[in-house]
Amino acid sequence: MSNKATPGAASRDYSLPTTRSGGYSEPCLRLPSAMLCKEDACGGANAVPSGEYVSRLPGRHFTRDGPKLSTRGRQSGSEAAFDENHRGKRGGRDVAHPGGLLERQYFHRNSNGSHPRSLEYVFGFLSQPASPSSAHRVRTTKKRLFTVPISTHLFIACLIAALFACDRDAPDSRFDPPELLVLESEPQPSESSFPLERALRLRFNRYLRPASVVRQSILVTPSIIDPDAGLPKGPTFFFEPVYDPFDRLVVFQLTARSRWVPSTLHTVRLFSPKDDGDMTGFRAFDGAPLKETESYSFMTGERESEPRDDRLPPVRYCEQDEGSDALPAVATVLRSSCGRAGCHGSSPALGLGLSTRTALQTTAVRVVARQTMTGASVSATASTPSRFGDDMPRIDPGNAANSYLVYKLLIHPQNHPGLHDGDTPDPWLGGLTPSGPPSYDELSRLRSWFVHGEPMPLEGHLSAHETRAIVRWIIHGAPTSDCLP
């Protein structure tokens, strides 16, 4: 079986080699004569016959019927090397043999220049079928692989999954979290007549870990000196801290019967955690502590403010409260945005229903968000999780900063206040200016830490007034008693 050569072209043999039994053997790769040079870029060196040893080839030296190469190697264009038996005892190769490789050594990228190989021989060796002993070893290896107990495979799979789970949503360790700073406070250090009943307010640059907003994170002392002992004296103030994550605002309200000391200088200290195990001091949600302990002072006046208007205004679920500064009813906001059909309405996504009061109470209030679950039950909320965000309820009455629904609203960039949202006075903010939107990096850190999926609502966005209504309604305890049966 052969083909006729084309006139004017070099003759090539494409016939299949035959065996003694009359059949065809597997063809070896035949290369044009222009490629039958050594690997050193065809630099005029002679080809090595296929029967000779080829130095530096991985594994053993492969031979057929030709003479062996000298341990000194063969130089380009030299005469045929003399026979030299370089085999050591028991047929093994000497470790120090220059044509072999020491254990765990690799070819140098420039080794081809000193130890060229015939390109035809290399391709010819690669095209040869595996020996029966090699095929037997492959079959034995496969047999051993499939005879490994299934329990071993399961153990390895679980180990790999555990290793990946340990790094679940962890922030990139190459970047340290930004510092936690106090942007604004009330009263300001220059205050000279602060009302006796008003609360202290602090605005931070980042979202806080709610567990750090406690009475032990702040200390206020009046500058009163006992004339007899010469030591400071005065009442101990007790606070009711409230954290509003939407405005990144912390309010330390005095208890019902507490008042500041009239016409007295008061010193405020805001604590930074001493170490990772310190439970007091302000921290961001990712554990970043307050940069340093801060102190400032203010002077009180002689009377209370009338009327007392710095309390958290009421927010209703079914009906909007009266007043020019009243926030919209929460049910109206939810039904028109997130509680529509196809989202969290009649066929609620992820089992979260927001279209009716019954659906809200059974699927959201004190129910663990599926995207934060680490346990087996949606009712197993963690009061003090080892990692903030784990097993977080969708709505935690009285604690908006521990409500997953709030963070799903927060990661939507357009749900935050803009320049046009600061015209209406907000008594809850006291003397602080309305907050602007958080930085894009801070929202990205929330998402990388624990907030998964798409922001809410999926289509459109809420106004700052509507988002505040939901957040402050949860701070009030998420009541629904104003709804008619």
Please report the pLDDT score of residue 305 as a whole number. Answer: 85
| Distance, CA of 182 to CA of 271 (rounded, Å) | 12
Strand pairing of 232-233 and 239-244?
Answer: unpaired
Regarding pTM above 0.75, the answer is no
Please report the pLDDT score of residue 193 as a whole number. Answer: 92
Please report the pLDDT score of residue 9 as a whole number. Answer: 47
- Is the torsion defined by CA of 72, 73, 78, 82 positive or negative? positive
Please report the pLDDT score of residue 35 as a whole number. Answer: 46
Structure tokens given for 235: 């009442």
Give the chain's residues under pLDDT 70: 1-155, 157-175, 230, 307-309, 322-325, 341-342, 377-384, 419-425, 484-485
In degrees rounded to 5, what are phi and psi of residue 210? -60, -30
* pLDDT (tens digit per residue) in 114-163: 445 544 444 454 445 555 555 555 455 545 544 556 666 566 755 554 44
Q: How far is CA 247 from CA 258, 301, 410, 424, in A?
A: 26, 28, 10, 15
Please report the pLDDT score of residue 29 as a whole number. Answer: 46
All domains in the chain, ordered by first residue = 1-129 (no CATH), 133-166 (no CATH), 182-299 (2.60.40.1220), 330-475 (no CATH)
Residue type, 103: E
- Please, which residues have CB within 8 angstroms of residue 128's CB and are 6 or more apart in sequence? 26, 28
* pLDDT (tens digit per residue) in 408-417: 999 999 998 8
